[in-house]
Structure 1
C-alpha cells in the first residue's frame, strides 16, 4: 500500500538490536550495504504498556503513553491511516488475539533484517537512483500491513503478523513486504503526481502496486502477495478480461484494497504485476526497463508499450538486470 509526500534521505544501513527489545529497543550501525534505518522502539513502547495493563490499555493510555511520545514514523502512520488511541483500543477489543500474537513476529527480525539489507542492496544495484528513508515497525489499529510515502515505510506489526492468507513463513513475509514497500518509496520520489493522485483509476493504481510487486520479486526473490498465484491459476484470461473492462474506473473496490485479515483480495496487484513483468520481458535493455517501471509517469502509455494482453504467458523473472 502506498502514500506520498516529502522526501527524507538516509544513506546508512542501521538495524535494530533485538535482544531485550521489550525493555529498550535500539538501533545500531551495520557493515551491510546501503539501506534504511529500521526502527522498532514503538513496538517496545506498546508492549511495555500492554504488559503493564495486562493487555487492556485504555484509549487514553494508548494515546498519551504510546502514540504521542512515539517516533516520527509512528506519527506519520497515524496521520495517514487514522491511527488513534481510540481506534487501537477498538481494534484490541474486536481482535484481542492479534495483539497478543504479534510479539512472535519480532523473532524474525534478526535474520529478516539481513535479508532486507540484501534485497535493498539489489535494489540499489538495479536502480542506482534508489533512496533509503527509514522503516518504522509499529503497532496500529489492525491495518494496514504497510503504508509508504517518500518519508519512509511504516509497517503495522500486528497486521503483518495476523493476515492469514499471506506468505505463511513470517520471515519471508517481512522481507517481501518491505521489498514491496521500498519500491513505493522510489515511486513516491520519482513520480509524485501519479503516486499521490487522490482519485486514481484501476489501471493507474494496479500498475503502481504491480510495479512494486515486480520490483520485490527482482530484489527479494518473491512478490509480497504470494497467495494470488494459486488463486488465479487457470483463470488468468477471464480475470484479466474483466480487468480491462474496469481499468478506467475510479472505484477500486473490485480490484484493490479489498482483502480482510482472513479473506484475500487485491487482484489488481496481480494484474499490475503481470503488466510490469510483460514490459520487462519485452524490453531489450533490462536495466532501463526497471527504471521505466519505477519512474512510470503515464500508466496508459506504459500499458500500451508493455506487450501485455489478457491471459499472456510470462516467463521466469531474470533478476540480473542485464
Structure 2
C-alpha cells in the first residue's frame, strides 16, 4: 500500500479531534518515540519469566499506543504471538528510533508548507509505536499513529506523516459511514495534498496502472462508488485482473486533482477539499467521471 499505508479502513472522524486543543503552529509539532524504547525493553524480557512482557509495554504506553490497540495490536497476547512468529523482522527495526529522530528535522519544514496551504491546520503529536504488522499509519482523536515496525526504510516517512496529518485536518459530514466514493476521495485527497505539500509523488504502481487503464477503471468505479464494499479498490489485496492494491487512492487523487485544477484560488480549493460536505456534488464539480456517471 502507498507509503506503507497498511492501515485498516480510515474511519476516524477528525471532527472529534478538532474539539481538542492542539498546537496551531508547526513549531510545536512533536514526534513521540517513548513507546519504541518500552517495546524493546519488553522484547528483551521474552523468556525470562512466565509473564507476558508486552503487558507492561501496553500498560505503560502513551495515549497514542492506547489508540493503536483496537483493531491493530488487539492485546499483549496477540502481540507476543506476532513477535515470536516474526522475531527476525522486528529486529530489523531495532534502531529505527534514532533514525526517526534524525528524520524529524527534515520533516518539520513540511508542516510549514501545510500551514501555507491550509492556515487553519493543527499539529497533533506524532506517536511512533510498535504494532503487529497490520497498520503503517492512522489517526486518532489524540494524534497521528505510526506503526514503526513497518518502517524498514524511512525513505517515505515524510509522505506518510503528511498524509496522516492531512487526514487529521479532514472533516466528514457523516463520520465513519462511508461508501467507496467518499472513502476514495478521503484517501486520494490525503495523497494529493501530501504531494502538494512535499513535492513528492507516491504510489507509483497504482498511478501507473490507473493511468494505463483509466477508461475501464472509471466505468467500473462509477458502477460501484455508491456501495459500501471496498473490495478490489481499498484496504486489501486485490485478486482482480492483476491490478495493484488500493486503486481507490488513485481514483480519489484524480478526482481531487481535477477539482483543484479548475479552481482559481488554490488555497481556497484546499480548504474545500478538506471540508467536503457532499461527495457526489464534489464529484460532479470535479468533472472527472462525467463521461461515466450521469447522476
TM-score range, shorter chain: 0.7 to 0.9
* Residue of structure 2 in register with 1:303 after alignment: 283
2:98 & 2:202 partners in 1: Cα distance? Answer: 19
**1:72 aligned to 42, 60, 63, which one?**
63
Give the corresponding residue for 1:292.
Answer: 272
Query: 1-side partners of 2:184 and 2:191: how far apart?
Result: 10
Matched residue, 2:209: 231
Q: Work out which of the residue numbers 151, 164, 178 in structure 2 matches 1:200.
A: 178
Q: Residue 145 of structure 1 aligns with which residue?
A: 136
Match of 2:247 among 264, 267, 276: 267
CA distance in structure 2 between the aligned counterparts of 1:225 and 1:83, rounded to whole angstroms? 29
Contact 1:9/1:132 (CA < 8 Å) preserved in 2? no
Once residues 31 and 201 of structure 2 are traced to their aligned partners in structure 1, the CA distance between those partners, rounded to angstroms, is: 21
Q: Give the alignment partner of residue 218 of structure 1, picking from 168, 193, 196.
A: 196
Partner residue of 1:84 out of 75, 92, 100: 75
Query: After TM superposition, where is structure 1 displaced by more than 4 Å over at least 4 residues in a row?
Result: 56-59
User: Which of 156, 163, 166 in structure 2 is aligned with 1:173?
Assistant: 156
Equivalent residue pairs, number: 276
- Give the C-alpha shift of residue 155 in structure 1: 0.5
Partner in structure 1 of residue 116 of structure 2: 125
Question: C-alpha distance in 2, partners of 1:291/1:272?
Answer: 16
* Pairwise CA distance, 1:49: 1.8
**1:255 and 2:233 equivalent?**
yes
Partner of 2:36: 43
What is the alpha-carbon distance in structure 2 between the residues aligned to residue 204 and residue 158 of structure 1?
29
Give the 3-state SS of the residue equivalent to 1:46 in structure 2.
Answer: helix
Q: Deviations over 1:101-137 (max 9, x none)?
A: 1225435324421232111111111101101111100
Match of 2:23 among 3, 6, 11: 11
Structure 2 unaligned regions, length at least 5:
1-6
Between the aligned partners of 1:57 and 1:298, the Cα distance in structure 2 is: 55
In the alignment, is the contact (CA less than 8 A) between 1:207 and 1:273 conserved in 2? Answer: yes
CA distance in 2, matches of 1:105, 1:92: 17
Structure 1 unaligned segments of length 5 or more: list them: 14-32, 162-169, 313-322
RMSD: 2.7
Query: Distance between the aligned counterparts of 2:50 and 2:246, measured in 1?
Result: 33
Find the aligned partners of 1:211 and 1:6 in 2 and give their Cα distance.
19
Greater relative CO, 1 or 2 (CA 8 Å, sep 6+) = 2
